[in-house]
Amino acid sequence: MSFTADRLLLFGATGDLAQRMLLPSLFALDADGLLAPDLKIIGTARSEMTDGEYRNFARAALEKYLPADRRGRMAEFLNRLSYQTLDATTLEGYDDLAKKVGTPARGLAIFLSTAPSLFGPTIRGLQSAGLTGENVRMCLEKPLGTDLASSREINDAVAGAFPENRIFRIDHYLGKETVQNLLALRFANLMFEPLWNAAHIDHVQITVAETVGLEGRVAFYDDAGAIRDMVQNHMLQLLALVAMEPPAHFDATAVRDEKVKVLRALRPVIAGETVTGQYRAGAIGGQAVPGYDEELGKPSDTETFVAIKAHVDNWRWKGVPFYLRTGKRLPKRVTEIVIQFACVPHSIFAGRGATMQPNRLVIGIQPEENITLSLMAKVPGLDREGIRLRQVPLNIAMPDAFSGAVRRIAYERLLLDLVEGDQTLFVRRDEVEAQWEWIDAIRSLWATEGLTPKTYTAGSWGPSAAIALAERDGVTWHE
Ligand X SMILES: O=C1O[C@H](COP(=O)(O)O)[C@@H](O)[C@H](O)[C@H]1O
Binding site for ligand NDP (CB under 6 A): 12-18, 45-47, 86-89, 113-116, 118, 141-143, 220
Residue nearest to ligand NDP (CB): 15
User: Which listed option, ligand NDP, ligand X, none, makes contact with residue 14 (CB within 5 to 8 Å by class)?
Assistant: ligand NDP
Specify the residue, 210 or 369, whose C-beta has the smaller distance to ligand X: 210
User: Which listed option, ligand NDP, ligand X, none, makes contact with residue 229 (CB within 5 to 8 Å by class)?
Assistant: ligand X
The Cα 237–Cα 444 span in angstroms is 22
Query: Which strands make up the sheet holding 81-85, listed edge to edge?
Result: 81-85, 40-45, 7-11, 108-112, 136-140, 167-169
Q: Does 177 bind ligand X (CB under 6 A)?
A: no
The Cα 28–Cα 118 span in angstroms is 28
| Minimum CB–partner distance for residue 113 and ligand NDP (Å) | 5
| Minimum CB–partner distance for residue 469 and ligand X (Å) | 22
Q: Does 303 bind ligand X (CB under 6 A)?
A: no
> Considering just the CA atoms, what is the radius of gyration of the chain in Å?
24
Specify the residue, 335 or 457, whose C-beta has the smaller distance to ligand X: 335
| Minimum CB–partner distance for residue 356 and ligand NDP (Å) | 44
Specify the residue, 169 or 311, whose C-beta has the smaller distance to ligand NDP: 169
Specify the residue, 239 or 410, whose C-beta has the smaller distance to ligand NDP: 410
Specify the residue, 46 or 390, whose C-beta has the smaller distance to ligand NDP: 46
Specify the residue, 122 or 335, whose C-beta has the smaller distance to ligand X: 335
Catalytic residue among 200, 203, 234, 478: 234
- Residues in the annotated binding site for substrate: 172, 176, 210, 229, 328
203 forms beta bridges with 340
Q: Does 141 bind ligand X (CB under 6 A)?
A: no
| Minimum CB–partner distance for residue 222 and ligand X (Å) | 12
The Cα 369–Cα 288 span in angstroms is 28
User: Which listed option, ligand NDP, ligand X, none, makes contact with residue 17 (CB within 5 to 8 Å by class)?
Assistant: ligand NDP
Pairing of strands 136-140, 167-169: parallel
The reply to whether 311 belongs to the active site is no
Specify the residue, 223 or 471, whose C-beta has the smaller distance to ligand X: 223
Q: Which residues contact 194 (CB under 8 A, 6 or more apart)?
A: 200
- What amino acid occupies position 388? R
User: Which listed option, ligand X, ligand NDP, none, makes contact with residue 115 (CB within 5 to 8 Å by class)?
Assistant: ligand NDP
- What amino acid occupies position 321? P
User: Which listed option, ligand X, ligand NDP, none, makes contact with residue 227 (CB within 5 to 8 Å by class)?
Assistant: none
| Minimum CB–partner distance for residue 143 and ligand NDP (Å) | 6
393 forms beta bridges with 374
Q: Does 210 bind ligand X (CB under 6 A)?
A: yes
The Cα 189–Cα 180 span in angstroms is 14
Q: What are phi and psi of 178, to 5 degrees?
A: -75, -20
User: Which listed option, ligand NDP, ligand X, none, makes contact with residue 105 (CB within 5 to 8 Å by class)?
Assistant: none
The Cα 62–Cα 82 span in angstroms is 16
Other CB atoms closer than 10 Å to residue 55's CB: what's the count? 21
Among 229, 295, 412, 431, binds ligand X (CB under 6 A): 229
User: Which listed option, ligand NDP, ligand X, none, makes contact with residue 15 (CB within 5 to 8 Å by class)?
Assistant: ligand NDP
Length of the chain: 479
User: Which listed option, ligand X, ligand NDP, none, makes contact with residue 210 (CB within 5 to 8 Å by class)?
Assistant: ligand X
Site for ligand X in 334-373 (CB under 6 A): 335
The Cα 108–Cα 131 span in angstroms is 8
Specify the residue, 22 or 108, whose C-beta has the smaller distance to ligand X: 22
Interacting residues toward ligand X by CB under 6 A: 210, 212, 229, 335
Q: List the catalytic residues.
A: 234
